[in-house]
Amino acid sequence: MTDDLSEKKQTQGIKADDEILAIDAAEEGRALTLGRDRTMLLHKLELAGNNINFSSIFDAPISLPFPYSYFEDHSSSNPNSFLDLLRQDHHQFASSSNSSSFSFDAFPLQNNNDTNLFFTDLPLPQAMTTKAEESSEVVNTAPTSPNSTSVSSSSNEAANDNTNKEVAVKDQEEGDQKEHKDTKPQLKVKKKNQKKAREARFAFLTKSDIDNLDDGYRWRKYGQKAVKNSPYPRSYYRCTTVGCGVKKRVERSSDDPSIVMTTYEGQHSHPFPMTPRGHLGMLTSPILDHGATTASSSSFSIPQPRYLLTQHHQPYNSMYNTSLNMINRSSSDGTFINPGSSSFPGFGYDHMPQASTPTTSAIRDHGLLQDILPSQIREDTINTQINEEDKK
DNA sequence: CGTGTTTGACCCGCGC
DNA sequence: GCGCGGGTCAAACACG
């Protein structure tokens, strides 16, 4: 690793063995130097030309420690679908800033080992490329959109392998939580072990005015640290659900203050956000829930109702058109396809379908989509997905 | 009163 | 060994 990169990593708070990936900005951002000296050459990301070939990216299933199954089979009734997240973020941006829209295009990438990356057509100024080094983020020169989110992840040895390993990681994590205040020798042992099998991490960049995105979970802030060479502090959050040791770090890019990087670590031990006060009603009928919540870190809400209420009462399909535009745009690029098995088992939704039927189920059964999206839009998306399959 | 935030102190790993 | 920086703790505080 070059001194320059080491310098950058150091300034970005990256340890040599940090599971969060470091991006080598060389090769116009197409070469990723992953942690542990793994390098993955990305396919040509001709995002500007909407000509991306991610065909091989989805060759293998991926797993990511993210609270939402971004690419979950839409046929399921799983509320934690990709679109759900879209809506969440949609809301977040819409309600928290002057932004009227944003895009969220995440493309799961996988190298030949165990690291998952999510790429998006996020607008990527030079500043972001630099920042991305901390979290293995996006490296491309995409056309910009008002608000964007890029997603990437890095995982430990277990995160991308199989369920058993993920469980092992989870167990260790929980053990760390419980035993955190044990004797120092034990703590040291734990730390050492933890180093070998760290929690899966999942980071994504978001262009937003607010630091702490409402991802549907309840978070408690437990720390804040100044980031070296950055005027913006890094905040540390922990999932407030009892027994759930998931953490996330939120920091703002010093180069581009409009960019927020959120890094998730660990697996949620609960199927969906739980709150002591019990707001589960939102989960079953988000659209009906018009609860007024804040944009604070502790807010726990399903966004679209607020979005609808606060954003000029846009009709449902208008909003979802926006969401779907993201998909469509990606799909038309041949970049956003339902990777099927690329769910996020890292978050341990044992009861959730693990995208059992790659590519097909989402096409035939749209789950939430079919209830909300205009059929024409669905068909467009589907056609694109089919075309992508044909390419394979 | 319950919940979440703030913030200084502390611990730990790492590089020199 | 020492200093630095990241990460965490926990008491104090704020808020509804």
Residues near strand B (C-beta below 7 A) are: A 15-17, 184, 187-188, 191-192, 195, 212, 218-225, 235, 237, 240, 275-277, 296-298
Q: Which amino acid would we find at residue A164? A: N
> Which has the closest alpha carbon to A84: A262, A292, A273?
A273
pTM of the model: 0.47
Residue A240 CB neighbour total at 10 angstroms:
18
> Which has the closest alpha carbon to A268: A114, A77, A92, A67?
A67
Total residues belonging to chain A = 392
> Which has the closest alpha carbon to A175: A249, A243, A223?
A243
**What tokens does A327 get?**
């998909």
- Residue A247: beta bridge partners? A238, A265
**Predicted confidence (pLDDT) per residue in A61-82, tens digit:** 333 434 343 333 333 333 333 3
> Which has the closest alpha carbon to A72: A387, A348, A388, A344?
A344
Q: Is the CB of A247 under 7 A from strand C?
A: yes
Residue bearing the bigger pLDDT, A283 or A204? A204
Measuring from the CA of residue A235 to each C1' atom, give the nucleotide at the shortest distance: C7
Stretch A230-251: mean pLDDT, rounded?
86
Distance between CA A233 and CA A252 in Å, rounded? 7
**Strand B bases, protein C-beta under 7 A:** 2-9, 11-15
Q: What is the pLDDT of residue A215?
A: 73
> Which has the closest alpha carbon to A359: A51, A71, A68?
A71
Query: Are A190 and A176 in contact, with CB atoms under 8 Å apart?
Result: yes
**Predicted confidence (pLDDT) per residue in A346-371, tens digit:** 333 433 333 333 333 333 333 333 33
Q: What is the pLDDT of residue A148?
A: 54
**Predicted confidence (pLDDT) per residue in A256-268, tens digit:** 888 888 888 887 7
> Which has the closest alpha carbon to A118: A177, A182, A48, A68?
A68
* Cβ-based burial of A284 (10 A; exposed 0-12, middle 13-18, buried ≥19): exposed
